Chains A and B, each alone.
Chain A
Amino acid sequence: MAKAASAPRANGTPAAKPSKQELLGYYRTMLLIRRFEEKAGQLYGMGLIGGFCHLYIGQEAVVVGVQAALSEGDKVITAYRDHGHMLSTGMDPAGVMAELTGRSGGYSKGKGGSMHMFSREKNFFGGHGIVGAQVPIGTGLAFANLYRGTDRVCTTYFGDGAANQGQVYESFNMAELWKLPVIYVIENNQYAMGTSVERSSAETHLFKRGSSFNIPGEQVDGMDVLAVKAAADKAVKWCREGNGPIILEMKTYRYRGHSMSDPAKYRTREEVDQYREKRDPIDHLRATLVERKLATEEELKELDKEIRGIVNHAAEFAQTSPEPDPAELWTEVVH
């Protein structure tokens, strides 16, 4: 773990070691995201999902580890690679999948699609399609928390590509100036569409990007859910104690292309295989569970079966839920 030189750190007691139950929970959610995304890719190939569809495969540990550190009332916002975030906040996989297929049973009644889904109930504020635009919004959600006098935080996710957007730095400035409880989670999957961080960023250590605003930053192994959880615990504590914003740069990797239509010719097969075979977050946790005798192979197979059942049900619902009524075209433009 690297730290920005100027970064003050939260000096709390280290979070307690995750229990068996917690570890199984992380495994379960990561697996759900993986299987869900594989199914989404399949439905896309069948022409059932249209437009842009950005899969989260490979990055599961990031959102699962961060979400595990949050509590009731904390808020979440991200960009368009958002299916994993929705599933980890507890949104119904069937409702998410039905939105991907543009059906009335989707979270946005089929009017938002892959990139635009929300759940007030789960404090998930989207789902935003413009690179970087969710960052000031997430900062504003944190502002609302502080304004109301709560200690709730807003986790604001963005990618290495968005990290070069001007509005990110406008947000950093105000967040630190007003000590807003916002955790900026940079999901550095190393490619902004097809452009690598090295080719797009003068400072490739993205956790340092807050230094000129005095925002502490930390680089975290985003392929290791336990490392993510530990870092997120500290970050949440930092924010709850009124210290203002904090940046977590999650070094991660997406196995698939930027979107379904991306053949990913900008990187080698060897590079991808390196991550898939040696760094996979799900395999890694599975090995830990077996090694520590926290779960047997049979139990894990059973879990896998259960997850496949949930995903198959979601896919079924997403294909049988009716298309939105034509009258829906004209509703919800304004209140």
Chain B
Amino acid sequence: MPPEILMPALSPTMEEGKLAKWHVKVGDRVNSGDVIAEIETDKATMEVEAVDEGVVSNILVPEGTEGVKVNTAIATLAGDDEPKPKSGGNGASAAPPAPTPLPKATPAPAKAEAKSPASASAPAAPPPAPLAADPAIPAGTEVHTITVREALREAMAEEMRRDPNVFLMGEEVAQYQGAYKISQGLLEEFGPKRVIDTPITEQGFAGLGVGAAFGGLRPIVEFMTFNFAMQAIDQIVNSAAKTLYMSGGQMGCPIVFRGPNGAAARVAAQHSQNYASWYAHVPGLKVVAPYFAADAKGLLKAAIRDPNPVIFLENEICYGRSFEVPKLDDYVVPLGKARVVREGTDVTLVSFSITMGIIIQAAEALEAAGISAELIDLRSLRPLDIATVVESVKKTNRVVVVEEGWPVCGISSEVATQVMEQAFDYLDAPVARVTGKDVPMPYAANLEKLALPSLDEVVAAAKAVCYRN
């Protein structure tokens, strides 16, 4: 069997991509290190290099093909028909090992490999559940389907057009077009004064952003991921969050700190932490963690306009997911409001961010088992809209809280406590939690899967609070 060249993954989260260009044709001889093709995702273009020598015998996937799955064979190499270097063996040199192309990033990421951004090439969203329409959107509003990434970009672009004091700064936000391409095109539209590449210096530029906000500007500070914001957390908590109070109301810090939060895929413990409860703990901050693209857009616009420091937690894996977004000139979603995204009668499932995808799937599985689940997307974590949860619990009498973060002192702990305080008499079962496991994120694929909340765990917890097996 001739050696195959496989579609490479450019990042841990890439599932498919476009074969943009072949640099070789059938019959061409390739040497290791030759650039043989270019592949694209919605985030990046990369060159594919040959690893081994040989002659291209077949192009299996023509250039321009979209949606080529990772690990699909895209070409084959024939055995070398040129004279082999003399070898001391029996003359028949062994067939070259199956070449595994190495993706080469162009341009190379500026950060260390460990910080190298992973890209989601639009992984499919979970199958749609029959979700309730957002009552905040007028019936009959025209919608379009865009990715969360595009929704975030639209929000920033619209706010930057509206207010000249809004600017974006962070690592790779300008010339590189964003480590995750959230800021793609913004440098071109708004110029280097307002879209600013920073050095890798989180504490410094977070503090600089706070000062700019004190000085009357409206900074959007992008962290490449919130894992790196731990370098800056003193500025976020001590300088941004507390100053309004410490100044007796004189000062304010209108700033948005945003970026992906939580686990991506296979990036292990230091790059996979969920900070939702860390920031939600702090008076003086507002904390937002949307799931749907419409919320990503509307909440980010609200966050940029808010006079307080807002922590805007995104999720890398969700960037490429597509959802409907209303086509409105100025779609703003108020901070601090949860949303019932699916009505049900038997159990309330509460979540936010990426784990919304799990509870949506769980609702379908539970429906099949005859359990009607009501789904609540918290959307904002501080202030926490517990009233919406309590109202739902009064109806269903059972609640499961699902989050990706660690269980101890987590968002789900807080929701459970407040439900106990405010709706104790309505509960027919103890509040159940499904969370990330209480361990640093492991690297091994199987262990990583075990560390994260799963559909099965959510379904089991929902059945348990309904006393169903």
Contact = CB atoms under 8 A, between A and B. Distances in A.
Nearest to A329: B245
Interface string B229-262: 0000011001100011111111110000000000
Q: Which of B167, B199, B243, B307 has the most CB of A within 10 A?
A: B243
Given A147-B193, A177-B199, A332 B244 contact: yes
A174 interface: yes
B217 A137 contact: no
Contact of A174 (B199, B234, B248): B199
Contacts of B413: none
| 3 pairs of A and B residues whose beta carbons are closest in the complex | A140-B211, A136-B207, A170-B204
A170 B203 CA distance: 8
A110 B306 CA distance: 26
A136 B211 contact: yes
B228 interface: no
Given A133-B234, A332-B248, A167 B214 contact: no
Contacts of A334: 244, 283-284, 286, 308
B198 A140 contact: no
Contact of A140 (B212, B234, B250, B283): B212
Contacts of A140: 207-215
A153 B214 CA distance: 14
17 contacts: A108-B247, A109-B248, A111-B248, A118-B246, A125-B214, A126-B246, A127-B246, A130-B238, A138-B211, A140-B210, A144-B216, A170-B199, A173-B199, A173-B204, A333-B283, A334-B244, A334-B284
Nearest to A116: B246
Contacts of B71: none
A125 B212 CA distance: 11
Contacts of B207: 133, 135-137, 139-140, 167, 171
B276 interface: no
B120 interface: no
Contact of B251 (A118, A166, A171): A118
B176 interface: no
Interface in B179-220: 193, 198-199, 201, 203-217
Nearest to B203: A167
Q: Which of A77, A127, A130, A170 has the most CB of B within 10 A?
A: A170
Contact of A133 (B167, B209, B239, B249): B239
Interface string A103-127: 0001111111000111110000111
B214 A141 contact: yes
B248 A171 contact: no
A136 B206 contact: yes
A222 to B, nearest CB: 25
Contacts of A148: 216
Interface in B133-177: 167
A143 B249 contact: no
Interface string A23-42: 00000000000000000000
A145 interface: yes
Q: Which of A108, A143, A171 has the most CB of B within 10 A?
A: A143
B247 to A, nearest CB: 4
A139 B211 contact: yes
Contacts of B243: 116, 118, 126
A334 B287 CA distance: 12
B248 A144 contact: no
Given A109-B249, A334-B286, A143 B203 contact: no
B247 A137 contact: no
A143 B250 contact: no
